[in-house]
Structure 1
Amino acid sequence: MSTVAITFADELRSRTDDDLATMFKSRPDLVSPVPNDFSALAARATSTPSLVRVIDSLNLWHYQIIEAACALPEPFKKSELIEVTGDETAFALDYLWQIGLLYKEGNNFRTPTNLKLLIGEEPAGLGPVSAKKINFSILKDVPANSAEVLARLTWGPPRGQIANVKKPGAAIAWLLENEILVPIDSHTVVLPREIAIKLRGGKIHKELKNEPEELNGKKIDQKQIDLAAIANISTILRWCEEFLHNLSDEPPTALRTGGIGVRDLKKIAEHLGVDETCVGFVAELCYLGGLVVVDPDDQILPTSAFDIWLTKPAEEKWYSLVVLWLETSRASGLIGKVSDKNIAPLGPELDRAGVSLIRKTTLKVLQENTQLSPDLSSIQSVVKWFNPQKANKDFVEWNLREAEWLGVTGQGGISTFGMNLLTEKDVLGVAASMPKAVDHILIQADNSAVAPGPLTPELSAEMGTIADIESRGGATVYRFSEGSIRRGLDHGKTGDQIKTFLIKISKTPMPQPLDYLIADVAKRHGKLRVGTAHSYIRCEDEGMIQQILHDKKCEHLRFRKIAPQILVSDFELAEVIGELREYGYLPAAENASGILLSQPNLRRAKSRPKPPRIISEFNSPKDAVIQSAVKTVRAGERSRKVEPIVAGTSSNETLSLINQYIADRKTLMISYADNNGSVSNRIIEPISISLGTLTARDETTGELTQFRIPRINGVAPALTILENKADLDL
């Protein structure tokens, strides 16, 4: 005669190996690490962190059923749950039982205690269970004014505030007198759960949504989607390169929290020709890939990994970044949002639990609705059905925007490249669709140049040093200016070298205005020099010295003239140079010996890449891991059951018995003391003895383990112990 399971642990023991494997697959956190036995498994499965994870994975339908289950008195029958929900619930019950949110007690069901605490005291907006027997017939006689009060409380929240429970209005007084409402304190009344369910027509929810709404949007041809997506991929790779080259040229100083400041972010955005939101995302993308880091001196610089990344093919570059974006728990859409303080890219405030889950759900919805650019409100609603506990509307919007920037989507629809990425294809198709790199430009008469396609990495880096990007698309337009030419000169180039480079790569002749611009800036560059006094300025042109001294924009630098050609300042060299350049002067730095200093072509971080931590989501373990976990729990349970039965043996008896079991290749049970002195029983398969150590396969872990012979307190055949234990149980 079988006993009825009354605890979750007992019910788990009665499940088959296939049932346990299904639960482990759906809740991978239960096998990280593997529990020792069923009691430990039950404790893990009903712990708050584990329940939070599994609740977050429920769709709206399953969540509504769990709400209904928590609202019923326990134990409840399957028919009782179906009565307050719907006939379709029968199909979901088995799944909810398999993942351990319900467990059986004979033919009835129960929910774990912690699950009720997480769902809350008012599941589905229902009040507390009535302490008295309710006369439902009184509901037919409710006055009209009292019915209005009930209508407001029926679908929740079930609590209402009144001035004084001893002096209520006529409508509430009748409800209190007939015990339809119950006073909680002197100002609060509540509608009991049973009455609310009766008023709801015997159902717990207004509508049980067993499937998501249909996704609405605009139909787009896949070819158009892919054309837009490949352009986006080309653009995001160029943005990353430009961003990192810009950090190399003019590295910003990190905030105290480690992020990029508002002023620096705006400056980089102007250089790239995009808004700060986009730059923040690019910065985060490079941060994830280990391409940028905050150095010990607080400068934000590219890492040496950037140089390796530049040499890779476009498809490999893109994959190395987008695969990290899929997994990251950082929400770059929060950048610039003001709460108590500004949130900065690369800072620590961007981590949000569940972001990766929402991102994957959003992409899954797009994947199931190909050639469709969804309406924002429609896809937000669908994602909300799949993840009712985590689906933040802003997160969905940001994920769609970032997917478009990355080329995972094009014009809002999932691209072939995005599909290949999500289905883990070996070839993503990016390389074949990418436009070929060009090795030339076309210089125009208005100090601009057009690159008729993506430039080779070498030319792109050189052009980024001496020109600013004005517009992007199939072709890139560069603009030469005084500032951009000065940047090239700061990198150690001469005016003649810049001219030679442009003449070599341009298919059109260099126009005279650009020739004059380069010559003029090269002539003035370095004429004014800044050194360290704290700082000093020297210039052979005394007129320029006088101009700076009387320039009202420079008054705050507090220059003092100590010689006809020399000014000194209390401000740091870098600050003086930066301010003078901002006011239209073109100073260059010099060292203590008066030698002109030029910045290195490549400025890289001294520290190694430090990609941000990720609030990880547990991935479904492989079948081999699941089967091993089932075996481990079963073995641990057998070991726990026979723990009191292993008798002590002397050292000689222990050695003799072990050698015998090695020869007979039998499984045995040992009582073993660990390093902390605690004793446990282990089922093992002995293999050999050497130098006072037994080598055996531990049945719990399946691994070869070494046991010190002096620590073995007792030995007995495992099969005999199990049989004896079974007899005792009977």
Structure 2
Amino acid sequence: MSDTLSLATRLRAMDDTALVAALRAREISPSGIKDFFDLAEAFLDRASIQQTLMRLDRETLAVLAAIGQLAEETGPPAATDIATRLSALSGREVSPESVSDRVSGATTLLLVESETQRFAAYGSVRDQLRSWPAFGLPSLADLALANAPAALEPVPDVDRRFIDRLGAERAFAAITAITELLVEVERDPARELAKGGVALPDSKRLAHAMSVDLESVAVFLAVADRAGLVARETGSWMITDSGATWLQRSTGARWATLGGAWFERLPADIRQLLGERTHALWGAGLRGYIDWLYPAGGDWMDERIGAYTRDAELLGITANQAPTGPGSLLLADGIRPAEQAMTALLPAEVEQVYLQHDLSVVAPGPLTPRVDARLRSLADVESRALASSYRVSTSSVNRAMAAGETAESILEFLGGISLTGIPQPLNYLIGEASSRYGQVRVGSLADPRPDARSYIRSDDELLIGTILVDQSLSSLGFERTSATRVQSRFPLDVVFWSLSDARYPVAAEDAAGEIVALRRQRHAKAVAAAGINPVDALIERLRLGGEPEDEETGHAWLIRQLDAAIKAKTPLTVTVTMPNGTLVDYQLEPTSVAGGRLRGRDNRAAIERTLPLSRIAGISPAK
């Protein structure tokens, strides 16, 4: 039986869960696939096979190559045959159990099929591996013979405290940058370009807020995405509910989330390697071992490992390629012991600040999440480091009042955290902003229309006139309806935050004219917007025809089987139902299917037969 026919039959018999797993593991595109034969051809495509082989380790590749070699010599081998061949080639004992484990993984990837404890690699797999030496990739002998290099070099006997201190500094800097990233995308999502990457204006905005260079924005965004703190929705990066919760955690707990996500995504074999050598350098020795372990990995593996080693340095898991104390604990014992160790190294959080006469707020250390979040609501961050600074302004006080604060609540909070009391200029600013707050009111129209959904009103005609000529607000499409009132086609929240960002003393009001609190909450949904998963849609489409015994579906399935056999020139045993009800087997090499009839060469009788498809009860490989 041809590989296409065999695999198509196998795919059809698989349950949906296994089929979905195979499609995702092999990264098969659903486009252009109409039936199980098309799907089988996609799995057997040489490019797809090579992409999968690139991601397999040396031992699995050696097993696959041995299966192909033995099959050509003696037929499909058993696990003991494969182990014997690899042991002879390598000069070391290879157990049948380890071979079976590797074959199991390859079978899940649909590279191998098994029957009665014997294994056969598909022709595309055998051909691809056979062609490797011509492209500088290892043959079976090379795969089996090569010994693993010394994976990692021991860390020199240096002061471990220096490594831990450097790692903690980097971890704190990363946490600070990601905190600012989340705060900024919560305020204003960052647009993702169709070709990939954040739009340049948003990248510049994020880089400024995070105090990092432009190139580092994508790196920190990837770290945050891996930890589930941000998500892409409707073409923009937004904070998630998990990200909002992360902002309320302590510095040590924030690191644990980032470090845990890094550890969970680490490939199992690399995780085991590093866990066994938690006090070794990660430099050239690690890269050399990875190149040996994944001999066809190429650029894909370089990029993958490069990203993990880069992020390990970024998060303080390593420092100058040497694992830190928390990093060693993470690799050996998991995230909880590592979190305790890193928390002890990070700067202690504080709850009190210095209020300055120039309206700035200076924190002598990292603030607790509770104080930091509250302070951000009524002041703008100026710098973020070990000692952070904030600045209170009229617009920041307006923003706080829009969220429900009052002059009294602001002064009470600042008085409770200040080490220097409340300076007179700050007291005056808060009182003045409070008195002016609400001079501009925004509300929703009672009878909204497409061209008018919200309104702005103010008793100050001059202020209304200023808003109308403000170029930063021109996109809101204002229409003046009276000396003190303006309408907009945009909803209340859009108009309100536009005016707030433009630093007008704006307040939102309800239908009764009472001021209501607004908070700018822009979180990505836990589940992406409703849509059809392409893999699920493909499986549903493939299943729509019914089961093979259904008459119409069985006829179509028979034709595709015969087409595959004709294409591969595969001899078949064709079982035909005779007029008297008996079954007769013919050994045919099919040549064509047309007009409801099968034509094929019967080599035993040395004649060409023509059989009606309606009489064919079944087909199988020639005996």
Q: Do 1:273 and 1:470's aligned partners in 2 also have CA atoms closer than 8 Å?
A: no
Quick one: distance in 1 between partners of 2:255 and 2:58? 35
The residue identity in structure 1 corresponding to 2:361 is: A
Distance 1:232-1:575 versus aligned 2 partners, 3 A rule? same
After TM superposition, the structure 1 = structure 2 runs for residues 261-276 of structure 1, keeping only pairs within 5 Å, are 270-274=208-212, 275-276=216-217
Q: What is the CA distance between 1:440 and its match in structure 2? A: 0.9
Q: Do 2:262 and 2:308's aligned partners in 1 also have CA atoms closer than 8 Å?
A: no
- Paired residue secondary structure (1:532): strand
After TM superposition, the structure 1 = structure 2 runs for residues 701-720 of structure 1, keeping only pairs within 5 Å, are none
Structure 2 residue corresponding to 1:123, chosen from 130, 142, 149: 130
For the pair 1:417 / 2:358, whether they are aligned, the reply is no
For the pair 1:404 / 2:313, whether they are aligned, the reply is yes
Structure 2 residue corresponding to 1:450, chosen from 362, 376, 382: 362
Distance 1:478-1:439 versus aligned 2 partners, 3 A rule? same
After TM superposition, the structure 1 = structure 2 runs for residues 111-260 of structure 1, keeping only pairs within 5 Å, are 112-114=119-121, 117-123=124-130, 125=132, 155-156=134-135, 209-212=146-149, 221-235=159-173, 250=187, 252=189
Q: Do 2:439 and 2:506's aligned partners in 1 also have CA atoms closer than 8 Å?
A: yes
Q: Do 2:442 and 2:496's aligned partners in 1 also have CA atoms closer than 8 Å?
A: yes
For the pair 1:383 / 2:293, whether they are aligned, the reply is no
- Paired residue secondary structure (1:475): coil
- Paired residue secondary structure (2:518): coil
Corresponding position of 1:374 = 283
After TM superposition, the structure 1 = structure 2 runs for residues 468-507 of structure 1, keeping only pairs within 5 Å, are 468-507=380-419
For the pair 1:74 / 2:12, whether they are aligned, the reply is no
Q: What is the CA distance between 1:393 and its match in structure 2? A: 1.8
Q: Do 1:245 and 1:461's aligned partners in 2 also have CA atoms closer than 8 Å?
A: no
Distance 1:532-1:54 versus aligned 2 partners, 3 A rule? closer
For the pair 1:395 / 2:304, whether they are aligned, the reply is yes
Quick one: distance in 1 between partners of 2:103 and 2:465? 85
Corresponding position of 1:91 = 92
Q: What is the CA distance between 1:535 and its match in structure 2? A: 1.8
Q: Do 2:153 and 2:280's aligned partners in 1 also have CA atoms closer than 8 Å?
A: no
Quick one: distance in 2 between partners of 1:324 and 1:206? 33
The residue identity in structure 1 corresponding to 2:322 is: G
After TM superposition, the structure 1 = structure 2 runs for residues 474-553 of structure 1, keeping only pairs within 5 Å, are 474-510=386-422, 514-515=426-427, 517-519=429-431, 521-533=433-445, 534-553=453-472
Q: What is the CA distance between 1:565 and its match in structure 2? A: 1.5
Quick one: distance in 2 between partners of 1:264 and 1:593? 38
Distance 1:90-1:484 versus aligned 2 partners, 3 A rule? farther
Quick one: distance in 1 between partners of 2:160 and 2:440? 58
Quick one: distance in 2 between partners of 1:380 and 1:322? 21
Q: What is the CA distance between 1:554 and its match in structure 2? A: 3.5
Corresponding position of 2:487 = 568
Any idea what the Cα deviations from partners look like across 1:172-204, whole Å, max 9, x if unmatched?
xxxxxxxxxxxxxxxxxxxxxxxx99xxxxx96
Any idea what the Cα deviations from partners look like across 1:218-237, whole Å, max 9, x if unmatched?
96643222223334444555
After TM superposition, the structure 1 = structure 2 runs for residues 11-50 of structure 1, keeping only pairs within 5 Å, are none
After TM superposition, the structure 1 = structure 2 runs for residues 679-698 of structure 1, keeping only pairs within 5 Å, are none
Corresponding position of 1:322 = 259
Quick one: distance in 2 between partners of 1:120 and 1:408? 42
The residue identity in structure 1 corresponding to 2:466 is: Q
Quick one: distance in 1 between partners of 2:361 and 2:460? 34
Quick one: distance in 1 between partners of 2:346 and 2:420? 26
Long gaps (5+) in structure 2: 1-21, 23-42, 105-116, 446-452, 529-623
Long gaps (5+) in structure 1: 1-28, 30-46, 104-109, 127-154, 159-195, 198-202, 329-355, 611-730
Q: Do 1:536 and 1:569's aligned partners in 2 also have CA atoms closer than 8 Å?
A: yes
Q: What is the CA distance between 1:538 and its match in structure 2? A: 1.3
Structure 2 residue corresponding to 1:592, chosen from 508, 511, 515: 511
Any idea what the Cα deviations from partners look like across 1:385-422, whole Å, max 9, x if unmatched?
22345552222222123223433223442222122122
The residue identity in structure 1 corresponding to 2:372 is: S
The residue identity in structure 1 corresponding to 2:267 is: L
Quick one: distance in 2 between partners of 1:549 and 1:600? 25
The residue identity in structure 2 corresponding to 1:281 is: A
Aligned alpha-carbon RMSD (Å): 5.2
The residue identity in structure 2 corresponding to 1:547 is: T
The residue identity in structure 2 corresponding to 1:565 is: T
Q: Do 1:269 and 1:279's aligned partners in 2 also have CA atoms closer than 8 Å?
A: no
Any idea what the Cα deviations from partners look like across 1:650-696, whole Å, max 9, x if unmatched?
xxxxxxxxxxxxxxxxxxxxxxxxxxxxxxxxxxxxxxxxxxxxxxx
Distance 1:253-1:60 versus aligned 2 partners, 3 A rule? closer
Quick one: distance in 2 between partners of 1:265 and 1:567? 34
Quick one: distance in 1 between partners of 2:365 and 2:490? 45
Q: What is the CA distance between 1:85 and its match in structure 2? A: 10
Corresponding position of 2:222 = 281
Corresponding position of 1:467 = 379
Whose Rg is larger? 1
- Paired residue secondary structure (1:112): strand
Quick one: distance in 2 between partners of 1:123 and 1:92? 24
- Paired residue secondary structure (1:436): coil
The residue identity in structure 2 corresponding to 1:427 is: P
Any idea what the Cα deviations from partners look like across 1:324-376, whole Å, max 9, x if unmatched?
44334xxxxxxxxxxxxxxxxxxxxxxxxxxx427x6178348627363626x
Quick one: distance in 2 between partners of 1:594 and 1:273? 42
After TM superposition, the structure 1 = structure 2 runs for residues 647-726 of structure 1, keeping only pairs within 5 Å, are none
Quick one: distance in 2 between partners of 1:519 and 1:237? 35
The residue identity in structure 1 corresponding to 2:315 is: L
Distance 1:414-1:437 versus aligned 2 partners, 3 A rule? same
The residue identity in structure 2 corresponding to 1:229 is: G
The residue identity in structure 1 corresponding to 2:222 is: F
- Paired residue secondary structure (1:383): helix
Aligned length: 446
Distance 1:96-1:477 versus aligned 2 partners, 3 A rule? farther
Quick one: distance in 1 between partners of 2:233 and 2:324? 38
- Paired residue secondary structure (1:91): coil
Q: Do 1:467 and 1:484's aligned partners in 2 also have CA atoms closer than 8 Å?
A: yes
Quick one: distance in 2 between partners of 1:572 and 1:57? 51
Q: Do 1:272 and 1:469's aligned partners in 2 also have CA atoms closer than 8 Å?
A: no
- When normalised by structure 2's length, the TM-score is 0.56
Structure 1 window deviating more from structure 2 (527-536 vs 504-513): it is: 504-513
Any idea what the Cα deviations from partners look like across 1:125-172, whole Å, max 9, x if unmatched?
35xxxxxxxxxxxxxxxxxxxxxxxxxxxx4489xxxxxxxxxxxxxx
